Structure 1
């Protein structure tokens, strides 16, 4: 074979490999995961702009920008560096700590705060994939926490049995609260969004009333607060008493694997996905829409109820009417950010847990309002809800199937 023929053959051999790389790059750029990533980047960028405007040194140097512009840019760099380093130190690793425990404590706090978001986000994600927009995780979480906390402080049982029953109680409490909108939608056609929103308020005021009863009120206290859950019903700390990270985090990861298996490998999951994708076709294929609706809401409620176990059995270890906080609503964002997939939900929950864990560090070390974290979370929701906006901002190509529809 001549040198000329070898020269001409080599590009033909390399061309397919080059095409494969181009196709892989195009698939990455067009994927929804890239949109999610760039939405987070855009949120951080806009959050950085807000940090710049909120910094006092930047505002002072901006007053004489045209005479000494270097001072303004230096102040901007210092403000951003201080803010993002404070967020890193508060959410991932505290590099300024003098001990190994101090270094990793922010990461453990991030995982602790992510735990209830993983539970609730999984339940909401299953509902979304089954075609149900469940807004009731807040109430389901609160009812699960109520039943689990009551089992925890009202009974005297051995450690393993007591903890197991308390955890099951949390799941049952949430499942019952999820069954109500499920049965109403399946049998009477009630809209799950309206019913679940109303049940959130019912749960809140029901818990407030229960905390006024002697059975739920802490002895010697006039405040609406329950007794402390017995030690036998508390989640044990995974890394020791100096960290808040508890066994509930491992249970949340186990539930994430279970949710993946349920939706991707089981017959039940196939039916739920089929109902969510096309209810008419699923009904024609002999699937019961009513059964799928009820089952989805019960599973979602049970997972949201397990989210209530994180505070009452793991961190604060007692029940108040503020136990749920905004966890149920934050979980909606987590499920959307994770594209209703278990792995995505776990990663999104850790991201939001990190943002929440970084709040105190951002306020103390960087001197910025903790509301910046809330703004970044809200911006993530905004960009996730508008994929075309993200694609336009970063000039990302539209997916192939969207191009075909447009054509």
Structure 2
């Protein structure tokens, strides 16, 4: 099995083969373009503090320390090289045309080389339009980009996988996907034929047809990954899971990394940003965490950059999501410093095992309604389940429960978070 590692300069560091893929068409854009439909109320200053970053005194995670930009790559277990930073694109469907397409183009212009989407996000067309615009402008070629998308959860058999990826290719306006993931291991549609091993064989079919370069999974736990390892011929290249300050997910991260399965981390800012769809009192987690502030002062950065860098220093590829141009650039500026192993460990200790996204019926329905995804028959409908209707407006988020239940937390939150 091939070792995974961070690519830079073709050196071998701590037993990891590394090499650098050149970034072409890179254009660093300064300042903020005006007029974003979504405006973020972020609990930290956007402007980076002045001062030079200081080198870490201990060179822990030596292979990761060589990552110098978002186009640097991590070598997957199938030999393909994936950029070390990705732009997340999950968001509210109704404003994707106005917000997401220009954000994707801007991110590529600014240096991002990986984009993360999914069939169920209902935004592959808008992501594809943003990619096409960047290519048409001559900023990049298709080969410079790494496009990750995911199988729709309504595909529950081997036979449905190849037709599904062909539909994604058409929406994204590309000839191949770089990384195709099973989005969830759960049988959300209660399909009688659902089996993750059978679905995985369909993923292998898609790769054999050169429709995707790499295949992987998302939201899989150890037992589910073991089924794939024990019953099929292909080790997943990636497991995309939630990792953030309140949910460090150490066990599954360690398990996957020991088997050369790379971790992609969604929702990296956890509850440090607004989560209007969460139905319970979330843990207190802000960008004012003392360890994040202390390290921000030390390295001349802001707390969000400190946490993203801690993921990179754990060998994890973060997927920060934003359509705010300043945040897009800020989230990318994490490659001119490195944390020590002790500093990474201190950040991991913020964990309280509390995650943002849940696949239980009620929180799932709230999240899907918030983003504007349709209520597919059987997708989360359960007896006595929460019936949530949401009206998005520029002034905020209004919600009600038709069964009379209280949503005290949601009613006080406004639609302000475009940062994951």
Normalised by the shorter chain, which TM-score bucket? Answer: under 0.3
Where is the helix percentage greater, Structure 1 or Structure 2?
Answer: 1
Please state which structure has a larger fraction of its residues in strand: 2
TM-score (norm 2): 0.25
Q: Highest CA radius of gyration, 1 or 2?
A: 1
Please, what TM-score do these two structures have when normalized by structure 1?
0.25
Whose RCO is larger (CA < 8 A, sep 6+)? 1
